[in-house]
Structure 1
């Protein structure tokens, strides 16, 4: 019984500590500029971020920010009675135009430095 309790406590500790390490949207937004500058994350023509080079937080950053972008794109599409794909394409065009030289963009299926 004691081993079960010890194992249960260990499992709960691991689960709880993992949730403390999870990144939230605010942290992802704060980490995004450094991830882009490091070449880990880039902009895509579909309006979403992509992982250029996996890094410590690249996947979490892209996942969280893309979820927020999709929600905003959907809101705009609904509000303006246009297709989600059109909003995504417009956002992607703007994001690529605003990407500074030296950072990555995805064009024609491949990553390139702008």
Structure 2
């Protein structure tokens, strides 16, 4: 189990590109820009499970962008799980650590067992 966990942690850095930091298709670039604006405005935040969520408010475009990006992230986590033998949840949580490290001060983060907090 430790070996699988280490494999997932090692993959987490490369997953960062797949869940929002690499080259994106044109349709996903719009969603990423919308989510980035939401993060800056404090209406969208990252969660410790590796998914985005609306913190509060947010318009229909932000909610749709969160769903679109989360759908892509879920596919990446599922693929990673199949390749490494860990759960998709473990892959998401490992990636969330990388995502948290990249949050700007003042952006929102939600731990697995808590409420929203500013970084």
In the other structure, the counterpart of 2:54 is 51
Query: TM-score, structure 1 length as denominator?
Result: 0.73
Q: 1:31 aligns with which of 30, 34, 41?
A: 34
Runs of 4+ aligned structure 1 residues displaced above 4 Å come to none
Distance (Å, rounded) in 2 between the aligned partners of 1:67 and 1:46 = 13
Structure 2: stretches of 5+ with no match in the other structure: 1-26
Query: What is the alpha-carbon distance in structure 2 between the residues aligned to residue 55 and residue 32 of structure 1?
Result: 10
Give the drift of 1:81.
2.1
2:34–2:62: 8 Å Cα contact kept in structure 1? no
* Structure 1 position 112 matched with structure 2 position 117: yes
Partner residue of 2:78? Answer: 74
Deviation at 1:79, TM superposition (A): 1.6
Q: What is the RMSD computed on CA atoms of the aligned residues?
A: 1.3
Deviation at 1:39, TM superposition (A): 0.5
Q: TM-score, normalised by structure 2?
A: 0.70
Higher Rg: 1
Q: Kindly indicate whether structure 1 or structure 2 has the higher relative contact order, using CA contacts under 8 Å at least 6 residues apart.
A: 2
